[in-house]
Structure 1
Amino acid sequence: MRNLLEQLEGYTPWNEQEERDRVVLLSMLKSGQDLWTRENETAHFTASAWVTDPTRTKVLMCYHNIYDSWSWLGGHADGDRDLLVVALREVGEESGLTSVRPVSENLFSLEILTVDGHEKRGRYVPSHLHLNVTYLLEADDAEPLAVKPDENSAVGWFGLAEAVAASSEPWFRERIYAKLNAKLRARVN
């Protein structure tokens, strides 16, 4: 199992957003709070995935029902402290893909995400923070895709620029997806 504290301490931030979020993530992780389950309604860990095809020219996105936007794949730790396992599981559940593999077991990105209050399965979920880490994963873009109807209504492959443009959430487009693509391009070159 990968130790998150060690991963965060050894992580080299890409930009100011990652540097500032890294400081907060480390502080919260060291606080002793339960950040691994949704029982903490203020903040909890999530894992996301930037899923690319083998050529690194396409990324996988899903149309997220709650946010009414195309977005990356991922989900809650729900007690699992191995966030790479969480990211892999969530990609499988949200896309139907079975051949997903890590490009690296290292953190690809990190971010603190705000989540507005919303209804989920008939119950109100208060506004909170997702303490998120992102992994770079790879999958075969010819493998069949399947939606997870209780979470998304579409799944598809997009060119790198098209993936950013597909999102209807400006902050994600500008601060997250554009950053992930820049990091992906830097890794390829």
Structure 2
Amino acid sequence: MKLREQIEKYIPYNAQEIKEQEVILRYMDKFDNLLTRDNEFAHFTASAWIVNEERTKVLMIYHNIYQSWSWTGGHADGDGDLLHVALKEVNEETGLTNIKPLSEEIYSIEILGVPAHEKKGKHVATHVHLNVTYLIEANESELTKIKPDENSDIKWWGLEEAIEASTEPEMRVVYRKLNNKLKGF
């Protein structure tokens, strides 16, 4: 199924997702380069909310740019299969190989503001990520591996602890939503 169909088919969880689904679809109508960073204002990213088999913990990385505990994820970079992107990012950022999506359906959508920052010696202007999140299960006992150019730590957190571990207030709102959705999954 194509990305647009997946986003159209997605049933929003709350008012935030209703509005952001509408905006994402409108952007898709206006821009043909949202899958790449060529669109310097808005582009697609994919994230993973990684849970253990009991769904009592989430795996987070300590993100070097944001200096905060964070989910895994990354830019689509031309790949319209955002589940593939999310799984690839889980593997790259944690080293995990024994991972599986709990559904191939989108778990959550967000439009995330990204402040200006430096990356690999270049200035990146303020922009937004049109983010699609997937719920991924991993084995808590599998060894992890840090990706030094992106993160400096990896840790399993209790669901509430994960929210508190983030130093980004706007992401705490997102993580709380993901955990609340998990209760009904």
Report the TM-score range of the alignment, normalised by the length of the smaller protein.
over 0.9
Pairing 1:7-86 to 2, within 5 Å after superposition: 7-86=6-85
Q: After TM superposition, which residue ranges in structure 1, 4 or more long, deviate above 3 angstroms?
A: none
Which residue is equivalent to 2:115?
116
* Residue in 1 that maps onto 2:183: 185
**Secondary structure at the counterpart of residue 155 of structure 1:** strand
Query: Residue 20 of structure 1: SS of its match in structure 2?
Result: helix
- TM-score, length-normalised on structure 2? 0.98
3-state secondary structure, aligned to 2:90: helix
TM-score of the pair, normalised by structure 1: 0.96
* SS of residue matched to 2:13: coil
1:128 aligns with 2:135: no
Q: Residue 156 of structure 2: SS of its match in structure 1?
A: strand
Kindly, what percent of the aligned residue pairs are identical? 57
Structure 1 residue 40: Cα displacement: 1.1
1:81 positional shift: 0.5
CA distance in 2 between counterparts of 1:96 and 1:181 reads 23
**Aligned to 1:111, what secondary structure does the other structure show?**
strand
CA distance in 2, matches of 1:124, 1:32: 23
C-alpha deviations, 1:59-79, integer Å up to 9, x for none? 010000000000100000001
Q: Which residue does 2:103 correspond to in 1?
A: 104
Distance, in Å, in 2 between the alignment partners of 1:6 and 1:41 is 24
Which segments of 5 or more consecutive residues in structure 1 lack a partner in the other structure?
Answer: none
> Deviation of residue 33 (structure 1)?
2.6
* Matched letter for residue 142 of structure 2: E
CA displacement at 1:100 relative to structure 2: 1.1
Q: Give the total of aligned pairs.
A: 185
In 2, the alpha carbon distance for the partners of 1:26 and 1:158 equals 34
Paired position in structure 2 for 1:140:
139
For 2:126, the aligned partner's letter is S
Give 2:82's aligned amino acid.
L
How far did residue 32 of structure 1 move?
Answer: 3.6
Superposed CA RMSD: 0.7
Aligned partner letter, 2:179: N
SS in 2 for 1:158: strand
Residue 174 of structure 2 corresponds to: 176
Counterpart in the other structure of 2:91 = 92
Residue 183 of structure 1 and its aligned partner are, at CA, apart by 0.2
TM-aligned CA deviation for residue 164 of structure 1: 0.4
